[in-house]
Chains A and B, each alone.
Chain A
Amino acid sequence: MSDVASSSSLAMSGGRKPLLDVEDLRVAFRTEEGVVQAVDGVSFHLDAGEVLAIVGESGCGKSVTGMTLMGLTRSPNARFGGRATFDGRDLLAASDDELRRVRGAQIAMVFQDPMTALNPVLRVGPQLVEQIRAHGDLGRDEALERARALLERVGIPRPEERLRAYPHELSGGMRQRVMIAMALSCDPRVLIADEPTTALDVTIQAQILEEVRRLRAETNAGVILITHDLGVVADVADRVAVMYAGQIVEQGTLDELFYDPQHPYTWGLLGSIARVDRPRPPRLPAIAGTPPSLADPPHGCRFRPRCPHAFERCGELPPLEARAGHPDRCWLTPEQKRTKRRVGGQIGLAHGDEEVAA
């Protein structure tokens, strides 16, 4: 199945080598409840200047994927498989030291909660400076000047003052801007943004996303946007990978995913966003049930226990295959999908009882 994914990725990047190529990534953690297969055979690629969104519910392995690329999940309790090729080298096989030189410099990450992601007892300036100096041969003053310029670039007013501020003296949006400035400080070629707007107010969210968009255009970095919010995806992503229970269940361009979604889970996600351009449904539909335990995933299709359209064949795990233009993991035929995904005149996941009524 990874062959299919990587061949399709080659086709999409026009035979050119992608900036980052992840093949059959597997991450397992040994925990008290047994081995948790957090990421189970994930493949995708990322080109310079594009935004790839990885979408899914919490616990689906999307954050682990991002952190693994940075080497942040390495531990005696973790097992890795597959390849993540960046700049001609496999990030999974790289030594701790090699990886340390890559992260923060070539690949940078913005985390979910800006309230806790900055060290509370250090001023903002030194926190930026230490990263700049770790990867370049800059003096303290030069590094500080660069930090000031970075803060200005991400739209922070009075940057000199902010450099001397402690994190708790800044607002959440301001802190997230500091995090973005920090991530950009060494001109990374890949930016991994893990739920960068989840903890922020809606208006601040829009500003931060605007920032991500602008910076992508200015620096031509590839961006991996990890989120559960399809609204955010629609705003900035070029391509989308939908993850469920440690696997990618559907992958395609933004248009393919929003207008021709193939996997019932994607339908569910699309159906659960409130849209202003459509009549408001009586109740915002949510996908029934909860994601499975990754320590003991269901046999066959992992979405089967929550899927109203499941049939006998779903006892067998569907491969990630392009059946209708872009790859997905579902046994239904494209025709079946077209009929089943329409719920009340728009895309959504039927509930079990409605299915019986129909």
Chain B
Amino acid sequence: MTRFVVRRLISMVLVLFAISVLTFLIFQVIPNGDPAQRMAGRLSTPETVAAIRRTWGFDQPIWQQYLTTMKKIFSGEVISYTQQVNVLDQIKQDLPATLSLAIGAGIIWLVLGVLFGLLSAIRAGRFTDRALTVLALVGVSTPVFLLGAVALYFLAFRVQLFPNGGYVPLTSDPPQWLYHMILPWLVLSVLFIGIYSRVLRSNLLDTMNEDYVRTARAKGISERRVLLRHVLRNSLIPIVSLWSLDFAAVIGGGAILTESVFNLHGVGQYAAESIAQLDVPPVMVVVMFGAFFVVVLSAVTDVIFALLDPRIRLT
């Protein structure tokens, strides 16, 4: 177990390092992306630009700039170029919206994905299965921002059943929070429900062919018990890993599109806006933050795996 934790910590540090370097480099290759020039504005004198360049350290070698940025990130003093606000404060401010989205949608897509997958497998080849298959494929074929825009138009603009986007903090007004989150949750869930139900369906059908399921049936235990205890339990294992990685990605700003369409002002939307303004520090922080969640949750997944399947050892 100690070995497992140590290995995971080392790999996390490596991933975070690599991701931060990659992000930094992506923005360095921009030829006319000189941040000093942009910060100074269009009508600036060369002197102002040079001054900004000096104070922000843009005149230093690239590795030096990288180190400075990293140092600032870890001491919590990193300032964005455009707004010139503390990036970590901004993320702290945006995080509740992203967490609300991730947790609510995560529960919905897990529950419905498993439910539809199970239903589809039990009724394999029949009408229910075919209908769910078509729905799932429509779900994975629809861009989330299109779905969000259409949902907003009909349900918020035409019928006015839901609010027209925006985020209300849970702490300030719980019913309004729920009211504002329902539509984003559902829209974000559609894609995942489609994927999960298909994956689970095919896992279930594979597992039903296993010898031990035949053994279970030969024991004369009820079909329900065969399905839940012997088939579903084994088929759910891959779903767990899928879920935790997707969940981590959403927390880490992966739900950019949903956050943008519903104007939730989450972490992902912040990153997207920062990228559009070529504002490197926030992007680096968000990306590292997201990668951190991916690495941590994949370690947690492996622990859950080992608990669910005794054949798997943690190394």
Contact = CB atoms under 8 A, between A and B. Distances in A.
Given A119-B212, A120-B212, A72 B218 contact: yes
B216 interface: yes
Interface stretch (B132-140, B249-257, B282-290, B304-312): B304-312
A17 interface: no
Name which of B220, B230, B237 has the most chain A CB atoms within 10 A of its CB: B220
Interface in A86-130: 96, 100-105, 108-109, 111, 113, 116-122, 130
B211 A101 contact: no
Contacts of A72: 214, 217-218
A258 B215 CA distance: 33
B276 to A, nearest CB: 48
A131 B221 contact: yes
Contacts of B211: 111, 113, 116-117
A131 B219 contact: yes
A100 B220 contact: yes
A135 to B, nearest CB: 6
Given A120-B311, A121-B309, A135 B220 contact: yes
Given A105-B220, A182-B219, A168 B210 contact: no
Contacts of B221: 100, 104, 130-131, 134
A70 interface: yes
A118 B311 contact: no
A117 B211 CA distance: 5
B249 to A, nearest CB: 27
A146 B87 CA distance: 65
A130 B222 CA distance: 10
Interface string A130-161: 11001100000000000000000000000000
A191 to B, nearest CB: 11
Contacts of A101: 220
Interface string B107-131: 0000000000000000000000000
A109 B225 CA distance: 19
A108 B218 contact: yes
Interface residues on A, range: 20 to 34
B222 A118 contact: no
Given A130-B219, A134-B219, A119 B230 contact: yes
Contacts of B308: 121
Contacts, number: 76
A104 B221 CA distance: 8
B127 to A, nearest CB: 14
Interface string A158-200: 0000000010100000000001001000000000000000000
A168 B216 contact: no
Contacts of A113: 211
B54 interface: no
B210 A116 contact: yes
A63 B214 CA distance: 13
A14 to B, nearest CB: 32
A113 B211 CA distance: 8
B56 to A, nearest CB: 56
Interface string B217-243: 111111101000110011001000000
Contacts of B218: 70, 72, 103-104, 108-109, 111
B311 A179 contact: no
B302 to A, nearest CB: 16
Nearest to A77: B125
Interface string A41-83: 0000000000000000000000000010010100000000000
25 contacts: A70-B218, A72-B218, A100-B221, A100-B222, A100-B223, A102-B220, A103-B219, A105-B220, A109-B218, A111-B215, A111-B218, A116-B211, A117-B211, A117-B214, A119-B230, A119-B234, A120-B309, A121-B234, A121-B237, A121-B311, A131-B220, A131-B221, A134-B225, A166-B311, A182-B219
Given A100-B223, A104-B221, A131-B220, 10 more contacts: A72-B218, A96-B223, A101-B220, A104-B218, A105-B220, A117-B211, A119-B216, A120-B234, A121-B237, A135-B220
Please give me the 6 A-B residue pairs with the lowest Cβ-Cβ distance, nearest first. Answer: A104-B220, A131-B219, A116-B211, A104-B219, A119-B212, A166-B310
